[in-house]
């Protein structure tokens, strides 16, 4: 299939091509957790690059629960003008723009100084780096109800700001993914146990978001094809979740994989079979797509036109890219005249997979910072340099976040 052919979603929306910018964490909010000028400039670069669908970096539904400092938060209509500008600029060249909405659960850095909640009180195991995350408190019914309300409210505000849709993040080990996994969800109430119970929170949120935003606003979900941990969320689980989502009139489902403990989304899967290909999760996705009534998107390592063609010819509807578009935001436009164009970061050969994952993310964020300043990317940056720079910046942002939160009431 031609990557530049249109895709019509179930709600009637037409995406101009089959190429999507997948979500990446930019950490470029202003002092009010709203989109900064630099963040908006970054999305202008992607808008000019010819992408058909843009999914924002995760926007948090609760400023007490962050994947990292400098993250965008949308809880109230405060700073709505900044979100409206973000949507307008991202859409300026015809792309559809969806806001990814998220809650980290236990994957919130301890350095942020906030209480961590999760389905069960199970700490993250990162070996010597485990202390970077606090042991979470098991959520009670009030916590669960509050999270559902916040996802719905953020989706409503995204629509008000002019975005074309939302993507509910239930992958990569964040809160909704934690509910789906039997490793992180060991509850014995209606939220745990069977896959039907573990998927209940996600299904409830999708139902309530759809009801709140109406049929003309796109609603999508991102889930893992697997979490690549023994006894964890499996491809069979993913198929069952997709089947449960089928009646809810989703417009798209994105399939990825992994978590902080098994960072398969960065090509560091514990399953060696997925490392042999550029599209890490394609084989899983092809199987899961057989039960999906909605369009399917695959993300993970795609950087060549020929791989996009392979993805689309296998029955997948959209190809999502992250790192490649951080290296070259105009890659889709380049493919119209040069199908050999690609975008590569320097290879990391470190044996410690957790540190290699952190360095990879730091290298990506290094490119994003350059693009946000109007500079070209530098894909040859040394991993250790990018990691050190990222840690210095994160340290400063952590201090600013703690200072702000210590004297700031949280909106209800």
- pLDDT tens track for 322-375: 999 999 999 999 999 999 999 999 999 898 888 888 899 999 999 999 999 999
pLDDT band at 119 (very low <50, low <70, confident <90, very high): very high
Contact 218, 242 (CB under 8 A): no
pLDDT band at 410 (very low <50, low <70, confident <90, very high): low
Mean pLDDT value across residues 10-17: 96
Q: What is residue 357's predicted lDDT score, i.e. its pLDDT?
A: 84
- Percentage of the chain exceeding pLDDT 70: 93
Mean pLDDT value across residues 307-321: 94
Cross-strand bridge partners of residue 55: 98
Higher pLDDT, 93 or 127: 93
CATH fold of 7-346, please? TIM Barrel (3.20.20)
SS3 readout for the chain: CCCCCCEECCCCCEECCCEEECCCCCCCECCCCCECHHHHHHHHHHHCCCCCEEECCCEECCCCCCCCCCCCECCCCCCHHHHHHHHHHHCCCCCEEEEEEECCCCCCEHHHCCCCEECCCCCCCCHHHHHHECCCEECCHHHHHHHHHHHHHHHHHHHHHCCCEEEEEECCCCHHHHHHCCCCCCCCCCCCCCHHHHCHHHHHHHHHHHHHHCCCCEEEEEEECCCCCCCCCCHHHHHHHHHHHHHHCCCEEEEECCCCCCCHHHCCCCCHHHHHCCCCCHHHHHHHHHHCCCCEEEECCCCCHHHHHHHHHCCCCEEEECHHHHHCCCHHHHHCCCCCCCCCCCCCCCCCHHHHHHHHHHHHHHHHHHHHCCCCCCCCCCHHHHHHHHHHHHHHHHHHHHHHHHCCCCCC
Mean pLDDT value across residues 179-203: 97
Neighbours of 349 (CB within 10 A): 7
Q: What is residue 269's predicted lDDT score, i.e. its pLDDT?
A: 36
- Taking CA atoms, 153 is separated from 27, 363, 412, in Å, by 22, 33, 11
* Per-residue tokens: 143: 């916590």
Residue 180: which of 112, 89, 129, 245 has the closest Cα? 245
Q: What is residue 276's predicted lDDT score, i.e. its pLDDT?
A: 39
Mean pLDDT value across residues 14-23: 97
Mean pLDDT value across residues 194-214: 97
| Strand duo 59-60 + 19-21: pairing | unpaired
Matching residue, tokens 């946000």: 372
Q: What is residue 412's predicted lDDT score, i.e. its pLDDT?
A: 55
Q: Where are the domains of the chain?
A: 7-346
Mean pLDDT value across residues 163-171: 97
């Amino acid at each position: 299939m031609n990557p530049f052919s249109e895709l019509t979603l179930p709600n009637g929306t037409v995406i101009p091509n089959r190429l999507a910018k997948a979500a990446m964490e930019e950490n470029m909010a202003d002092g009010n957790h709203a989109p900064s000028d630099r963040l908006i400039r970054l999305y202008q670069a992607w808008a000019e690059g010819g992408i058909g669908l843009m999914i924002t970096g995760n926007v948090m539904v609760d400023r007490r629960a962050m994947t990292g400092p400098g993250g965008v938060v949308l809880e109230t209509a405060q700073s709505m003008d900044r979100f409206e500008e973000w949507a307008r600029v991202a859409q300026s060249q015809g792309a559809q723009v969806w806001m990814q909405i998220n809650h980290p659960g236990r994957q919130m850095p301890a350095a942020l100084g906030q209480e961590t909640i999760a389905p069960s009180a199970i700490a993250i195991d990162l070996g010597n780096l485990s202390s970077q995350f606090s042991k979470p408190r098991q959520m009670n019914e009030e916590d669960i109800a509050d999270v559902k309300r916040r996802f719905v409210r953020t989706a409503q505000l995204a629509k008000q700001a002019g975005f074309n849709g939302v993507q509910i993040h239930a992958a990569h080990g964040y809160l909704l993914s934690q509910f789906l996994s039997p490793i992180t969800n060991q509850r014995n109430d209606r939220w745990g146990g069977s896959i039907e119970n573990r998927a209940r929170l996600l299904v409830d949120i999708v139902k309530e978001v759809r009801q709140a935003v109406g049929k003309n606003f796109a609603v999508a979900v991102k889930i893992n094809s697997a979490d690549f941990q023994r006894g964890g969320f499996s491809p069979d689980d993913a198929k069952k979740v997709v089947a449960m989502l089928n009646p809810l009139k989703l417009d798209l489902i994105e399939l990825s994989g992994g978590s902080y403990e098994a960072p398969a989304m960065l090509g560091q899967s514990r399953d060696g079979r997925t490392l042999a290909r550029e599209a890490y999760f394609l084989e899983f996705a092809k199987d899961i797509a057989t039960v999906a009534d909605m369009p399917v998107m695959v993300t993970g390592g795609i950087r060549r036109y020929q791989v996009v063609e392979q993805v689309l010819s296998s029955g997948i509807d959209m190809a999502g890219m992250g790192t490649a578009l951080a290296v070259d935001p105009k890659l889709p436009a380049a493919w119209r005249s040069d199908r050999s164009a690609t975008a590569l970061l320097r290879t990391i050969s470190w044996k410690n997979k957790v540190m290699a994952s952190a360095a990879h993310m730091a290298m990506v964020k290094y490119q994003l910072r350059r693009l946000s300043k109007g500079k070209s990317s530098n894909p040859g940056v040394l991993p250790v340099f990018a990691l050190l720079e990222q840690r210095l910046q994160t340290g400063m942002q952590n201090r600013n976040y703690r200072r702000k939160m210590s004297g700031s009431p949280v909106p209800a």
